[in-house]
Structure 1
């Protein structure tokens, strides 16, 4: 096993890199000792780029049913991408580590180190130590929420206590052995406990948008409740996040696309592939309550947008400016297919638009249809001309409004990787549980479908990485 030492803003961390030699469960994360003795040292650990620049091996984007593929180009992509797109049982080749999960476990190790150690050091004020511990707790909750939405079944109250989830790891101990899979219910309970403990000690606004703040944590807690179907618990959390934003609008604010796309607007000038927008410029993050980005490969790889999703947009919807007919290599996309223009970054953190849509959905599910409509329109009037922004009058029933909000999520996040998580949670929702997800591969004319792939419900849950199972023989894999 190869050892390297790297520097994080003056703090040395020893890391043992992955190799083919024997290793235990937590050896798939950086194993070693962080030389941290002061509040500043521990604080610098939270600035590790892996917390906010998500590893590009994350396959959420490629698994959403909001995309398709061009056969001629897609067949030349790497096997992991093709297997993720095909919703196959096995993604990694034999002996290959799941790099994305390994990085998340590295981050979990750092969080646990801070949570368990920072309070006892004598340096710094009590407020500083509690705030840093709170941030690590909330970040641990974020990581566990991510992991349970990869390796645990979608939350269903009737079965969550029996459904296998993922190990709950609370110690920075690389020598621990015999990890077991806690139940989905236990993991969700641990996430909620971490967030509830953290929120009172978090600041309303962080120094960096990449670090957890109180509105980010309350939004995440509301999202957890939303995924559990506990809408009455989610709403107060979303309201609390909005209260922080109203007290300090500099935390996050919506771009008004009517202005941003004007001749002197924030998304100008257009490059040869499209606008200068958050997907092409990571510094354009004014909508981010918590900035987490994933670098996405150029669209020359054959990934295209689903025509069904593109049909959800009205002609005046300015979000259509993000989807063009020219690839990153400046070749034309065939037929009427579109690609995400100039896309380099997918935003997978906590965005103001997501908070708005989640609260709208929760209000609709609690039968506050007037409040839900108002929230949706708040977003839509910043995405298209005001005259076209109202929720259509034909959307009258509670169910119709919930469906409209989910469609609005697709219009807002098409090609961003958010759809995969929605597919999971909606699969156990009575309104959407019979919905079938498919991927289509298109011929060179951009119209003829050469292959249709139908998602089997079992593959809404990924299999546990082989490197974890090898050293935990009693740990059950997913089917």
Structure 2
């Protein structure tokens, strides 16, 4: 549904859910459809709640282990609540957050619970409370035992993201700074090389770090739906902000078909075995840069951009960026976010928050079988439809306006 995507496989807007989403239809789900975007996060939240409800009564382990696991569960629950809130609720608008509807808050492992939709403010408050409690846990180490387990830095990084989307740039900057003070390592894309320069698939990239081994990652999250994502191409809008000498373009896209024949379209060819939704050092740098630009420090913002970009171009191709005004710096930061966080699962949320600002408001459009479909900025269709099956089970849940 974002402006990064182009599809040649969608030929009609009603053939399946993907086609309906691609053309921003009023009804995305049929009465018989399940919704994995809703069901999977709530399943993970249930697991977190099961841990939190029973941890103190566990007879094995010690208090140190229990405290660590509690902090991990709070962090994971916060991640999924925040994701749900930004899919099904409005973005955070201070003037209306206390009345805008978001998603049900499920805070205990009760399969029979019937909950109504909480407000945007209530969900954001819960997410921040969970993460703040995790960060305050003495027995929670900065880094998890392995990439599956988040550590305190993961909670802090997620707080920086949440505060950014809340529009609280003071706290977003605070947590980004705290993370970067302890972890600031960047991966240099110059160490990558092709065994076949014409087709940059994961199998042909040498020295390719898997997401779980990436030195930039702070909070590792990967997705298993690579097959779905590779059905799409890069939109012309996305290509307009990607420099073809940028290694993020070189290593993530190909102009070849699956058979190796030349293609006029640009297709994702992901750097890694699965799409990487992790939160890492670059995102913290970009959050800090955006906060600095918004506070008037254009030079500080641009310095962060250049520190990142020098690792994303060959030395001969690298050109430092500069900004003439704070607005110019902010525009450059937001463009860099789009390039660096490409297919990281945040672009939809990004469009929603930026549409509130007249400087960045954007209408989306795409053509399918000769017909143009449009999604206007701040449209009600930025809120995903809640599955009719869910509402049939729990009538307290109010459907999003369509």
In the superposition, the TM-score normalised over structure 1's length comes to 0.76
Contact preservation (8 Å) 1:290, 1:350: yes
For residue 271 of structure 1, report the CA deviation from its aligned partner: 7.6
Q: When the two structures are aligned, how many residues end up with a matched partner?
A: 391
After superposition, the C-alpha distances for 1:176-206 in whole angstroms (9 at most, x for unaligned) are 22x1111101110111011111112221111
1:206 aligns with 144
* Aligned residue number for residue 118 of structure 1: 55
Which structure 2 residues correspond to residues 182-331 of structure 1 after superposition, within 5 A? 182-201=118-137, 202-245=140-183, 253-261=185-193, 268-270=194-196, 273-276=199-202, 281-282=210-211, 285-298=214-227, 303-321=232-250, 322-331=252-261
- Residues 149-164 of structure 1 aligned to structure 2 (within 5 Å): 149-164=86-101
Q: TM-score, normalised by structure 2?
A: 0.89
User: Which has the larger displacement, 86-95 or 125-134?
Assistant: 86-95
Query: CA separation of 1:127/1:84 partners in 2, compared to 1, >3 Å: closer, same or farther?
Result: same
SS in 2 for 1:221: helix
For 1:51, the equivalent position in structure 2 comes to none
Supply the distance in 2 between the matched residues of 1:76 and 1:301 (Cα, whole angstroms): 19
Residues 157/387 of structure 1: CA separation in 2 closer, same or farther (3 Å cut) = farther
- CA contact 2:75–2:131 (8 Å) conserved in 1: yes
CA shift at 1:371, angstroms? 1.8
CA 1:368/1:271 → structure 2, altered by over 3 Å: closer, same or farther? same
Uncovered stretches (5+) of structure 2, i.e. residues with no partner = none
What SS does structure 2 have at the residue aligned with 1:96?
coil
Cα RMSD (Å): 2.5
CA distance in 1, matches of 2:267, 2:106: 40
Deviation, structure 1 residue 387:
6.2
1:112 deviates by 0.7
Shift of 1:86: 1.2
Change (3 A) 1:360 1:477: same
User: After superposition, what is the alpha-carbon deviation per residue over 1:77-113, rounded to whole angstroms, capped at 9, x for unaligned?
Assistant: 9611111111222222221110232121111111011
Q: Confirm or deny that 1:82 pairs with 2:82.
A: no
8 Å Cα contact 2:71/2:134 also seen in 1: yes
8 Å contact kept, 2:157–2:175: yes
| Cα separation, 2, equivalents of 1:275 and 1:384 | 19
Structure 2 Cα separation of the partners of residues 300 and 193 of structure 1: 34
**Distance verdict in 2 for CA 1:279–1:358, change over 3 Å:** farther
Describe how 1:169-180 pairs up with structure 2 within 5 A. Answer: 169-177=106-114, 179-180=115-116
- CA 1:114/1:308 → structure 2, altered by over 3 Å: closer, same or farther? same
Q: Which moved more, 1:187-196 or 1:119-128?
A: 119-128
Residue by residue, what CA displacement relative to the aligned partner does 1:100-132 show, whole Å, maximum 9, x if unpaired?
Answer: 321211111110111122123232221110110
The correspondence for 1:167, drawn from 85, 104, 118, is: 104
Deviation at 1:315, TM superposition (A): 4.2
Q: Unaligned regions of 5+ residues in structure 1, if any?
A: 1-62, 247-252, 262-267, 444-449
